[in-house]
Amino acid sequence: MRMQCIENHYFSGMVSNIRRQFEERYGKQPLITAAPGRVNLIGEHTDYNQGFVLPGAVAKRIYVALHPNSEGTIRLFANQFNEGFSFSTDDIRPVKGWSTYLLGMISQFRKRGKQTGGLDVLVDGDVPLGAGMSSSAALCSAFGFALNTWFDWGFTRMELALAGQKTEHEFAGVQCGIMDQFASLYGRAGHVIRLDCRSLEYEYIPFHYPDFKIVLINSMVSHSLAGSEYNIRRAQCEEGVSVLQKYFPAVQSLRDVTIDQLEQYKQNMPAAVYNRCHFIIHENDRLLRGCGFLSKGDLVSFGRLMFETHEGLSREYEVSCAESDFLVARARNFEGLVGARQMGGGFGGCVISIVKNDRVEDFIRDIQEAYHQQFQITPEAYITEIEDGAKVISE
């Protein structure tokens, strides 16, 4: 209860500060929305292969304060970077940095026949950047939710998620799946979401374990390779599909491939392509089995699958790094921890762990000390819980 009270106090304090800063900067009272970052318990890199994912929104958020202006200018300011930009409403195109996500969302709405005119916008938040918690998806979701609310456009949460995904594709150059945006918009407290990334059908899976906390350990390695390598992994998966389609015409994606089919024609593809496909096929299976364990309240068996996922990410999909491997290996031997793995696109970012409440402080202390001894840097730790999705905070 004490932690919840602290979190609520922090939340209200940040909202008050954002409102005050917006009024000082722009002289208006804004609409304020918030959208959470996300964790993905299992099911990594399966989304763009039309598979399954199991994300949940978390109590780390991006906030957007917004009010239209009559000057024909998009004025943006981000507290996290202490920097602002202005763009003409006639010049909406991709740019470098965080502002491209807001411009991309405006572009997506224009393609859907909606115009904003000039806008004054202030952004703030506590989703760690570069930590694999999808701060960019939270930014797109919060901004899209704010515009949709202010102008009463009537877009569904799914339409907002798809607009955010297209923004990543067209304005950020990352060919991501739908998971991050979906989790940020559809999150439900005490539940994770089993999302079918082909049909977009979804089911809320209970994740209510009051004796455990989700602990994220930030390797402090910025996943600068994640964007380019992400696109390479996607192309390798598509190459595997194209090989198998010659023998199995019904195959549309790795979602449709059995492990026996892959093994039968593994000699027809490069070893790296085979490894990528092998991981994805097994990862989909792990996710479906994991949902069964959660439905039965078997968190220990679910945790074992998390360790299996990390092994696959490291050895088969090759998106881990020495720092993430070290964190998972250290966590594996800690009493009171049920599962851990690298989370997100890879090459750094956070390791997600599920730890007993009464062991959380000891776990954080142990892993920070060991990591500092190994890499001469102390990793940040975030204790969080599953949260609701995007919402209006203040009108």
Residues labelled as active-site residues: 180
Radius of gyration of the chain (CA): 21
How many Å apart are CA 394 and CA 32, to the nearest integer?
5
Q: Is 78 left (phi over 0), alpha (psi -120 to 50) or beta?
A: beta
Tokens 């969302």 locate to: 105
Question: What are phi and psi for residue 340, nearest 5 degrees?
Answer: -160, 150
Query: What's the sign of the alpha-carbon dihedral 380, 384, 213, 4?
Result: positive
Q: Is 92 left (phi over 0), alpha (psi -120 to 50) or beta?
A: beta
How many Å apart are CA 391 and CA 95, to the nearest integer?
27
Residues 230 and 48 sit within 8 Å (Cβ to Cβ): no
Residue 333 CB partners (closer than 8 Å, separation 6+): none
